[in-house]
Chains A and B, each alone.
Chain A
Amino acid sequence: MQKSDADQPILQVEGLRRYFDVSAPWLNRVLEGKDRSIVRAVDGVSFEIKRGETFSLVGESGCGKSTVARLIVGLYGPTAGSIRFEGTDIGPSAERARHPDLQARMQMIFQDPYASLNPRWRVGDIIAEPIRFRKLLKDEKQIAQRVGELLSQVGLSPLDARKYPHEFSGGQRQRVSIARALAGEPEFLVCDEPTSALDVSVQAQILNLMKDLQRRLGLTYLFISHNLAVVYHVSDKVGVMYLGRLVEWADKKILFQRPLHPYTRMLLDAIPDLDMTGRQRTPVAGEVPSPLNPPSGCSFHPRCPFANERCKSEIPAVRAVEGGAVACHAVEEGRLPPWKIQAAA
């Protein structure tokens, strides 16, 4: 199939897995007769992101969405699977080390703006670090000027470069984080819950800023969040994760209009919305099972109202549907009621 350059995905993730060994120490295992325990934090996730797009991953705590983010920027090495950035596999650490040019084109924004800035560095030095590291500019005067530009770009004053992080509020610190991420002139930004530590009015400022920057600089975002309303606002495509697997992904409009996977439906139903005053809803019972001991078959089956014998034994494969893909036996067999009818019932 011929694709134009603009359609070429900037990032392709295939069969990505990351397991963590959380076993007790060797002596305890021997004495107490315990087995090794492995958490499958990310268990076979595949998706691709086109240039200039915003792809969001949503899910509840422990579903592996932040692990995916860290795998992509290389803070963890994958257990298996490939991460292709512009066609080059940079999954294994050795491969990544061989392509510093590709690595430099991606940057990350973290959740907690209080923990992600070094409190003993001036903001100017924090932002200049990627410029100095990548030797983008040599002359100190030019660096200072570039830092000033970056600060103005994120809505701060160039004079703020002399200040320390503690002199800023949470929203301003997140602006500094964004300025630092932009300093390395990346094309691809991984944003791990960039606004969840912020108040709503400040969140609106940061989301607006991120959209403006995307338009101006042609950035591609991987956006990680647990807040579906924020995801609806920023994304082009949305993926829903549950216990380390991507259970459904689709274009934003399609996903929110006709969610297929029962878990996606549950999430959409669980969100309190401003229009729902006095609405009575029946919350889905149960909680996310421990990833140490996930249920057999489809990991959502103990909470799923449509589960049958097949769901208990067989892991559903991800199957393409119009505008996206979904991993659910009920969808495949066509025994899932339409979303609107269910909502009215």
Chain B
Amino acid sequence: MSQLLEVNHLRVEFPTRRGTLVAVDDVSLHIDAGEVLGVVGESGAGKSMTGAAIIGLLEPPGRIAGGEILLEGRRIDNLPYAAMRAIRGRQIGAIFQDPLTSLNPLYKVGDQLVETILTHLPLSLADAKARAVQLLEDVGIPSPGERVNHYPHQFSGGMRQRVVIALALAAEPKLIIADEPTTALDVSIQAQIISLLKRLCHEKGTAVMLVTHDMGVIAETADRVAVMYAGRIAEIGPVQDVIKRPKHPYTVGLMGAIPSMGMDVERLTQIDGSMPRLNAIPKGCAFNPRCPVVFDRCLVERPDPMPAGNGLAACWRVMQGAEHAEV
């Protein structure tokens, strides 16, 4: 498969009065056409920042300070604003966490869809309207002919998220960045939205970068997964390998920390402490203060992702040949 998106050594910085914060540090990943890449991590790990950098929606003063982002071999991280606007929506769609804030409350959902369609596709107004109805039908909204004339507040949370998905798919982009698309929804609605997203992307061959903190959603949806910690990729690989045979001690701890139905354990695996703040990232491996298998090299030298099993893991222990860390 061809590489649709390539991110090389991406670095995102936030200059502040007290010094520069590095939110994303040396992140490299790629997404193939039609593939679902999950990006997981705890809050502050830099997963949303990576997504925002790719679609060029970093909030100032945040800025890309290094590395490159290539879409189908073409650099998009240094494009002028207008050129990036043409790509956003047309080639890269976006779905955000809160469906209420990503729709304009003052416009009917049909008008918002038509606007997006006319911006990106050479269609007449009548054709665009017909397409808007078709899109709403595709995302499973009942009686779409009437619903196009409704305002966002007339939709429930799950239905709104369907409208947002319709908007993201309006111009048939090749890649969708979905940032916590189901976090604000109840489990039964979450299941509906995930299977909808899976079905549509499969039908249209759209690649998805699925950013979430929910490992269950990743397990069910993603082909490959990247685990982020303190702005860096700790581990990346095929989803089965990362979940069943995690290599990085952080991933091992994370998997044990997730309570699971049918798993009878008295205590969950506990990773003591919490993720370092961006202004206090320790020297060496950022995970070293919490790592159960830390040794002297981890305290001084930062590991880069290195081959481990079928994926990559940024851990000196892995390079030492330990199959996976004892926790």
Contact = CB atoms under 8 A, between A and B. Distances in A.
A227 B259 CA distance: 10
Nearest to A209: B270
Given A60-B186, A199-B43, A287-B158, A273 B192 contact: no
B239 A203 contact: no
A268 B270 contact: no
Interface stretch (B68-76, B212-220, B311-319): B212-220
A3 B141 CA distance: 55
A274 B42 contact: no
Contacts of A268: 261
A200 B43 CA distance: 10
Nearest to A233: B259
B65 interface: no
A271 B261 contact: yes
A283 B214 CA distance: 18
Interface in A242-294: 256, 266-279, 281-285, 287-288
A281 to B, nearest CB: 7
Contacts of A267: 187-188
A321 interface: no
A201 B271 contact: yes
Interface in B64-102: none
B255 interface: yes
B156 interface: yes
Given A169-B274, A268-B261, A276-B219, A60 B187 contact: yes
B186 A283 contact: no
A272 B272 CA distance: 26
B42 A199 contact: yes
A344 to B, nearest CB: 16
Interface in B30-83: 42-43
B146 interface: no
Contacts of A202: 42, 274
Contact of A272 (B156, B216, B265): B216
Nearest to B41: A199
A232 interface: yes
B3 interface: no
Contacts of B213: 199-200
Contacts of B260: 229, 232, 273-275
B214 A274 contact: no
B300 to A, nearest CB: 25
A274 B259 contact: no
B240 A277 contact: yes
Interface in A133-187: 169, 171-172
B253 interface: yes
Nearest to A205: B270
B257 interface: yes
B281 interface: no
A285 B267 CA distance: 36
A61 interface: yes
B125 interface: no
Interface in B237-262: 239-240, 243, 253-262
A200 B42 contact: yes
Given A204-B268, A271-B261, A272-B217, A277 B239 contact: yes
A226 B243 contact: no
A204 B43 CA distance: 15
B119 to A, nearest CB: 31
Given A202-B274, A204-B270, A272-B194, A229 B254 contact: no
Interface in B7-47: 42-43
A208 interface: yes
B156 A201 contact: no
A39 interface: no
Given A199-B213, A208-B267, A211-B266, A232 B259 contact: yes
Interface in A204-254: 204-205, 207-208, 211, 226-230, 232-233
B195 interface: yes
Query: Which of B216, B254, B271 has the most chain A CB within a 10 Å cutoff?
Result: B216
B258 A228 contact: no
Contacts of A288: 186, 188
A233 B156 CA distance: 31
Ordered nearest first, which 4 A-B pairs have the shortest CB separation? A272-B216, A204-B257, A199-B42, A233-B259
13 contacts: A202-B274, A205-B272, A208-B267, A226-B186, A229-B258, A256-B262, A272-B220, A273-B219, A274-B255, A274-B258, A275-B219, A283-B191, A283-B195
